A = this chain, B = another copy of it.
């Protein structure tokens, strides 16, 4: 293993913001987008952090990702709205949508916003985590124009990994932060196994013959991840249902793509065909309960889970978001460890765009 290079989050954030600005993104949006990526790295979710920068840089460079989207509200009631992302970065579009959602929840107690014609929005929990500053429970979901998950009893990729994130505030315990693909494993886990030369557990994916495989390359090529549960006997219809639910609340309700619709009925509008749809919700806790009471109850529940009896060979029970919270504390203090290959990429960008990168 090559030693990682530690970089302060502020340094990376500022650098990436400048890269986005050089690519035509407005200053404020560039900082928002950089923050979404760096937050993922801070929380140890490298699969959705700066490792993914090229996924935004390349299409911005190629002109297939809109650096200056005209983000608009399409339809709206006091607490429910649909927005159009105009083919902009999901990182920017998602943040604006959740900001509106929070503002409406602040006023009415609860709100939801759907978004169409957006793109990859990074770590789903970035948006639900925004709700913590407002003592709200937050929810975030996304689909994308890509299929990699098969339905129960099927063998054709029909759904994207459709993640769900929900966050709830606490007092002393790390906030509850759930964020997961509705497939057994995320596609990024397959990619990681490919990169490290490992095998994947049987039960994650099928190969192109529709057979269970432990070969990550075969799984990657077939793009046939199994829905959470794995087999019908062990509840895969539940994971399959959650995946469809995410598609309903994002693409179907939001007016975007859903399932494999981009393959079956490809629209002429590029911004729609190659798009993600999102769903956000925010709930103001203190409408129902004094916030300190709620947080104390959250602490009590999470602590009881952690202190409950451990399985043989286990010495710790985790609550959701605990590992990420601890990573964030550590990395805010000591910097984010980056792979030298990624740092080389950042240096290349620094050179290309004439931006100072002080490591």
Contact = CB atoms under 8 A, between A and B. Distances in A.
A253 B109 contact: no
A229 interface: yes
Interface centre among A247, A288, A316 (most CB of B within 10 A): A288
Contacts of A249: 137
Category for how many chain A residues contact B: 35 or more
Given A210-B311, A308-B151, A308-B154, A110 B201 contact: no
A93 interface: no
A285 B253 contact: yes
A283 B77 CA distance: 11
A228 B239 contact: yes
Contacts of A309: 154-156
B184 A235 contact: yes
A264 interface: yes
A79 B82 contact: no
A241 interface: yes
A38 B147 CA distance: 39
Interface in A193-246: 201, 203-204, 210, 228-230, 233-235, 237-242, 244-245
Interface of A: 74-82, 108-112, 114, 137, 150-156, 158, 166, 168, 176, 178, 180, 182, 184-185, 201, 203-204, 210, 228-230, 233-235, 237-242, 244-245, 247-249, 252-255, 258-261, 264, 283-285, 287-289, 294, 297-298, 300-302, 304-305, 308-312, 314, 316-320
30 contacts: A76-B287, A77-B287, A78-B78, A78-B109, A79-B79, A79-B108, A80-B283, A110-B111, A151-B308, A153-B310, A153-B316, A154-B310, A154-B314, A155-B310, A156-B308, A158-B308, A166-B248, A176-B248, A178-B241, A184-B229, A203-B234, A228-B228, A228-B238, A228-B239, A237-B320, A244-B301, A244-B305, A252-B301, A258-B297, A264-B304
